[in-house]
Amino acid sequence: MAQRRAPLEYNRMWQMRLWLFGVFFFLYAPLVALVAFSFNNSKRNTVWRGFTFDYYVKLFNDQDLLIAFANSLTIALLATLISLVIGALAAVLLWRYRFIGRTVVEGTFMLPLVVPEICMGVAMLLFFTRVLPWPNDLPWPLSLGSIIIAHVSFCFPFVALVVGARLASFNKEQDEAARDLGANDWQAFRDVLLPHIKPALIAGGLLAFTLSLDDFVITFFTSGPDTITFPVKVYSMLRFSVTPEVNAASTMLILLTIVLMILMMVMQSRGQKKG
């Protein structure tokens, strides 16, 4: 006998179950296929011909790919650090001070969130060729400078957004209490405001890191002939054929992203327990 459905138990309606199944299938089936075929023992990558780690071995011996990977990590790391500083400062500025044109400034900070990536990419390309030509022969990692700047420009608004949301819940009396107890502006910031926004800095930083690591469009337009990142490299490999090596490379990228996301969630729940 079928049990009666409680008022909010929508998950027991078959229509809802079908819908959920559809969502999960179309979201995850391609990813599962991608990972599965990275172990396919075939050059063509259309028919399953047995299990192998060959393409992972090949991946780790591919010098170009490893360099691209190192570039990506370096760019992501530096872009994240710079975004954290600029983003946090922007958020604190908008939160603490009331000034003329504040909404305009807030709007311009958030602009990179809404401008289509392709437009950003073209704009960056023009900027780094016409306005501020980035020399091609700089030593590594300065050669990555243009990409890092481009990445910071779309990463820091996310940091500012996350930190700004956190600041909204800050009790200004705590800052006043610190100063009342003898702290100067810097000490009050370090001892009271910074601990409050720490979870947001971690979350925002990891968000910026994954965004930078995954970015293709903007990077594609700003990278010079000699600097290549992991997603751009994957794309160039794809132009010849979809080999399991591409799958293997993509799997590695997915894995890295998942690890970072888990790290972020752990940090956040820890921050919540404390705060």
Q: What b/e string do you get for 73-107 counting C-beta neighbours within 10 Å, with b at 16 or more?
A: bbbbebbbebbbebbbebbbebbeeeeeeeeeebe
- Tell me how far, at minimum, the Cβ of 170 lies from another protein, in Å: 10
Size of the site for another protein (CB under 8 A): 19
Binding mask 7-46 for another protein (x = CB under 8 A): ----------------------------------------
According to the binding rule CB under 8 A, does residue 129 interact with another protein?
Answer: no
3-state secondary structure of 211: helix
Sign of the CA dihedral running 170, 95, 119, 122? negative
Please say which residue, 74 or 174, places its beta carbon nearer to another protein. 174
Alpha-carbon gap, residue 178 to 184, rounded angstroms: 8
Please say which residue, 132 or 194, places its beta carbon nearer to another protein. 194
Please say which residue, 49 or 96, places its beta carbon nearer to another protein. 96
Q: Which among 16-24, 150-158, 167-175, 235-243 is the span making contact with another protein, rule CB under 8 A?
A: 167-175
According to the binding rule CB under 8 A, does residue 268 interact with another protein?
Answer: no
Q: Which among 25-33, 86-94, 168-176, 258-266 is the span making contact with another protein, rule CB under 8 A?
A: 168-176
According to the binding rule CB under 8 A, does residue 274 interact with another protein?
Answer: yes
What is the footprint of another protein within residues 172-211 (CB under 8 A)? 173-174, 176-184, 187, 191-192, 195-196
According to the binding rule CB under 8 A, does residue 132 interact with another protein?
Answer: no
CA distances from 80 to 24, 111, 122, 231 (A): 31, 18, 22, 17
Alpha-carbon gap, residue 120 to 124, rounded angstroms: 6
- Sequence-ordered list of residues with C-beta below 8 angstroms from that of 233, at least 6 positions apart, any chain: 64, 65, 68, 69, 249
Please say which residue, 76 or 163, places its beta carbon nearer to another protein. 163
Alpha-carbon gap, residue 39 to 48, rounded angstroms: 9
Alpha-carbon gap, residue 98 to 100, rounded angstroms: 7
Residues that bind another protein (CB under 8 A): 171, 173-174, 176-184, 187, 191-192, 195-196, 274-275
